[in-house]
Structure formats: structure tokens, C-alpha cells
Amino acid sequence: MKSKHEIEEHFFNKLKELYPEIPEGKVSRPEPPDFIIETDAESIAVEITQIHNEKGLNDKFPPAQKHATEDLILENARNLFSTRVGLSLHISIAFTNNLILDEKQRHGLSDHICEIVEREVYGRNLDEYFSFHLRQNLPKELIRVSGYYSPNVVADCWFSAKGKLVPNLTKREILNVIRTKERKMKRYLNKVDKAILVIAEGIIPNSWYDGIESFEQNEFVSQFHKVFIIRYLSDQLIELK
């Protein structure tokens, strides 16, 4: 599972690759913004963000907050598994709704998840693809544990099955994130000449967009000089402003 900084770095490099007008220059990470590019002629701020579903009527937490808790649990479980077994797996876990755990409980659940995965991979033929899907005899915080192994895959990925689900990207969601990032812009706008916002698709399957509304170029009004969407799999750059 990539860290927030690694994801931002990935999409920053993709922006430079897909949008040649980005100048070469000295790059820093003051946070905020995520990046500043300084040249002899100008300085450009680049903000990288992702969109998550909004909180449902029966939910206590918005998905982004819930996903952060699940991320901590899975990151700890992945690290434990890496230390004990050292096998690259694709792990998808469905948590129960409105997960409320203290630090000790989170670590306990991470250890339990690690033990579950260890039992499932023990004795497997690592020269062949295999998968497993568990719904029975799980901790009360879990609904499902699924795992996939391929001998040709060297990178691991442990993620929440629901935490980042974004079925479709709509104008309302884009406007919400633009306004949120514009408020943050006030903290650094006096340091740069212009700012660019990148809305990045997630890097795991559950955060890929099923669809995106059709937008006209320059349909969005914003304080950002440019606003883009970058698709993860296709490397598609969509210019919104």
C-alpha cells in the first residue's frame, strides 16, 4: 500500500509527463501546497487530491475518516505479515460500518488479520496463482477477507474493500473539492505566482471511477490557474480549467 506522499509523488510525475507545459525547476514540498516548482520566471504550486464518497445518513464518520482508521489497521497487518512471512499479496478486507477502536484494539485487530492471512497461505504452492475468500469465523469487526497471490507480482497491496469506493465522478463532487482546496490555497498563494489542482484517481481498484460526467473545457470557475483529473490506469489527463 503506497503512502500519501508516494501517491502524491506518483501523480505529480504523471502531471509533468502528461502536461508538457509544466516547466522544469527546483521542486520543494512545503505542505501546503504539496509541491512548489520554482524557475527563474515563476513559481507554481501543485496540489494533489483524491475524492472519497460522502458520509451516508446512517454513518457516524465520512468514508475518508473511516478509511484512515482502516488504513492504519491494514498497514500494521501488512508490516507484521511482511516481517513474519515476506510474501507479496493482494489483500482486500471489508470492515463493519462505523468502526470505533482505540490504539490497543487496532493493534490487536492488525495482529489477528495477519494471523488469518498467515494460516491461509501456509503450505501453498508459490509457483502457482491462488486466492482465498473468508466470511466465517472472523473477528466481529470484519465482514470478509480476500487474498490473491501471483508468482509474477512482486508488489503487495492491502486495502479496505469499501473505504475509497467512488462509483462516479460528478460535477458536484468536483466543485466541492475545488472549493475545499481554494480555502487551503489562502495559506500559500502569496508565495507563488499560480496554482494547479490535480484530482487523482485512486491506485487501488475500489477507488477507480466507474464513470465521469462529460464536462466542457473551462466549465469550472476557480482561483486555480489549471484544474485536471488524472486517471490512474489509462494515464488520461482531463483538463477542467
- Per-residue pLDDT of 161-212, as tens digits, reads 766 555 567 777 788 888 989 998 889 988 899 999 999 887 655 566 656 6
Rg for the chain, CA atoms, rounded: 20
The residue ranges of every structural domain in the chain are 4-51+166-239, 63-160
% of the chain surpassing 90 pLDDT: 46
Under 8 Å between Cβ of 86 and 149: no
**Full strand arrangement of the beta sheet holding 142-149:** 130-134, 142-149, 90-95, 157-160
Q: Beta 130-134 vs 157-160: how paired, if at all?
A: unpaired
Residue 156, pLDDT score? 79
> Does the global pTM surpass 0.85?
no
Check whether 56 has a pLDDT greater than 80.
Answer: no
The b/e string for 31-61 (b: 16+ C-beta within 10 A; e otherwise) is ebbbbbbbeeeebbbbbbbbbbbeeeeeeee
The CATH code of domain 4-51+166-239 reads 3.40.1350
- As a whole number, the mean pLDDT across the chain is 84
